[in-house]
Amino acid sequence: MGSIETPPPTAEENGPTTPTCNGNNKQQQTHSGDGLEISAAPTSEKTPENDVSKKRKTGVLPLEVGTRVMCRWRDGKYHPVKVIERRKIVSSDPNDYEYYVHYTEFNRRLDEWVKLEQLDLDSVETDVDEKVEDKATSLKMTRHQKRKIDETHVEGHEELDAASLREHEEFTKVKNIATIELGRYEIETWYFSPFPPEYNDSLKLYFCEFCLNFMKRKEQLQRHMRKCDLKHPPGDEIYRCGTLSMFEVDGKKNKVYGQNLCYLAKLFLDHKTLYYDVDLFLFYVLCECDDRGCHMVGYFSKEKHSEESYNLACILTLPPYQRKGYGKFLIAFSYELSKKEGKVGTPERPLSDLGMLSYRGYWTRVLLDILKKHKSNISIKELSDMTAIKADDILSTLQSLDLIQYRKGQHAICADPKVLDRHLKAAGRGGLEVDVSKLIWTPYKEQG
Ligand code: ACO
Ligand code: ZN
């Protein structure tokens, strides 16, 4: 297994104004999962008086759950937070707590335990926030895939009734596992994942990078690695190009692997479920291969049969591998499978912030490349047939780029080459290419 590798963070990932999710642990793999939020975050350079004893007298401490206050973050600036939970710390003062806070302008993956010194007690707003509760009680149960229980924030929970939503939020509000070890990497987690209760007293879990079994102690993992004979995900290798391989794993044939993968993935997916039956899914696991084996980079899952024409259920690039084009590779791969099936596809909703960015980038690039080449008029239906992208997604992408005009009851696509070039430039890099000639795959058919 070797020691934990610490690739140096890039300036982009760890620049002075760009947050990362890795706290202060310099050993951990950094990732750039949060760069997008920071520009929207109001900051304050103010230094608090921090007159803790004065506040204590006025009864502010300990802070109540729900309190809103400014908190010093790892960028050294103050950001608004809401107190989600508190716990006593060992100290001579029975009123000493630390607080689990949500940075209200940031994604939930940045939620963390902070010390009292980080809070600006002068900024305390004592009104407990009712917004989430109000929204929860106004939600109604809708049809939407009853088998699923979606995790976390309200936007992703239209299918839960108010009571289940509250229970869910209560249960998942504090991250349970802080870090995992997987292959060469130690990775800080982003979200709660419902591991079996016996794992919930562990801050760190050790994963076998091949069978994805997880353990509470390093020695257990070391013992396991001496016995485990897997060197790649179980299942069929359906794609190999250079050192990249894709394996198709049938959740029915490899139930434990499928479940382990879901537990692992949920640590980085806020709004996805674990409670559905892995039997119904295929998992496409992307690996970088070397002489020690095939190391998982990311994956996507796909329902064997989707009534809603979903061609992808969940997608994840593990944090150490993010922002290298693997996400767009996985997305492109899911559309290549749809093309082989002769179907159009769309990702399951809701999309996360990063999921949306990746899809929008992919759709923009694919569609605009075609529009550039096709000088003549082309319809949305033709674009959909060529790309396997669902017409709704084509329309929303082109609309967001302001490339759709509505004339005489018809949609017309504007394809001014200069405008297209400008959008293409803004859409970022193309990601890693899928070489379709290296894909050996037939669509899923029920056996027996
Ligand atoms: N900040 C700003 N933009 C970003 C960021 C970020 N942190 N991460 C991705 N993007 C955007 C960029 O436009 C990027 O293209 P660029 O690098 O050319 O600018 C594009 O998304 C995709 O980049 P990739 O390198 O191809 O994607 P990556 O390997 O990082 O994977 C993914 C993207 C899978 C969404 C990853 O961020 C992830 O696993 N996130 C956690 C899980 C998640 O949210 N999954 C999607 C849920 S929705 C669903 O499952 C249906
Ligand atoms: Zn193993």
Residue 35 reports pLDDT greater than 60:
no
50-54, 86-90, 390-394, 433-437: the lowest-pLDDT one: 50-54
Tell me if 33 CB under 6 Å of ligand 1: yes
pLDDT at 270: 86
In this structure, how many other beta carbons lie within 10 angstroms of the beta carbon of residue 95? 11
Rounded CA separation 231/287 (Å): 11
Beta strands in 97-200 (DSSP E): 97-103, 112-114, 119-125, 179-182, 185-188
Tell me if 427 CB under 6 Å of ligand 1: no
User: What's the pLDDT band for 22 if we cut at 50, 70, 90?
Assistant: very low
pLDDT at 414: 82
Whether 348 sits among the annotated catalytic residues: the reply is yes
pLDDT at 45: 39
pLDDT at 273: 64
Q: Report DSSP state, residue 118.
A: G
Q: Give helix 131-138 / helix 162-172 axis angle, nearest 10°.
A: 140
The pLDDT > 70 percentage for the chain reads: 76
User: What's the pLDDT band for 134 if we cut at 50, 70, 90?
Assistant: very low
pLDDT tens digit string along 83-93? 999 999 887 77
Tell me if 36 CB under 6 Å of ligand 1: yes
pLDDT tens digit string along 369-387? 999 988 668 999 999 999 9
pLDDT tens digit string along 262-301? 999 999 998 766 656 899 999 999 999 999 999 999 999 9
- How do strand 293-303 and strand 315-317 relate by DSSP bridges? antiparallel
Averaged pLDDT score across all residues of the chain: 81
Q: Where are the alpha helices (DSSP H) in 198-250?
A: 218-227
User: What's the pLDDT band for 153 if we cut at 50, 70, 90?
Assistant: very low
- For the segment 216-245, the average pLDDT, to the nearest whole number, is 98
User: What's the pLDDT band for 158 if we cut at 50, 70, 90?
Assistant: very low
- For the segment 160-177, the average pLDDT, to the nearest whole number, is 75
Residue of minimum CA distance from atom 20 in ligand 1: 358
Q: H or E segment at 163?
A: helix 162-172
Q: Ligand 1 centroid vs 317 CA: distance in angstroms?
A: 8
pLDDT tens digit string along 106-120? 999 999 999 999 999
Closest CA to 9 of 23, 287, 26: 26
Rounded CA separation 250/284 (Å): 9
Q: Ligand 1 centroid vs 327 CA: distance in angstroms?
A: 6
Residue 23 reports pLDDT greater than 90:
no
- For the segment 399-406, the average pLDDT, to the nearest whole number, is 90
Tell me if 269 CB under 6 Å of ligand 1: yes
User: What's the pLDDT band for 5 if we cut at 50, 70, 90?
Assistant: very low
Rounded CA separation 50/33 (Å): 31
**CB–CB of 145/159 below 8 Å?**
yes
Tell me if 268 CB under 6 Å of ligand 1: yes
pLDDT at 95: 75
pLDDT at 136: 32
Residue 313 reports pLDDT greater than 80:
yes
151 or 103, greater pLDDT: 103
pLDDT at 173: 84
pLDDT at 284: 98
b/e per residue, 128-139, with b = 16+ CB within 10 A? eeeeeeeebeeb
pLDDT tens digit string along 228-238? 999 999 999 99
Kindly identify the ligand whose nearest atom is closest to the C-alpha of 32: 1
Rounded CA separation 201/198 (Å): 7
Tell me if 354 CB under 6 Å of ligand 1: yes
pLDDT at 447: 63
Q: What is the dihedral of CA 257, 258, 259, 263, to 10 degrees?
A: 100
Q: Ligand 2 centroid vs 329 CA: distance in angstroms?
A: 26
pLDDT at 29: 37
Q: Which entry of 181, 188, 209, 348 is annotated as an active-site residue?
A: 348
Task: Choose one of 12, 261, 317 to mutate for the ligand 1 pocket test, by most ligand atoms within 8 angstroms of C-beta.
Answer: 317
pTM of the model: 0.81
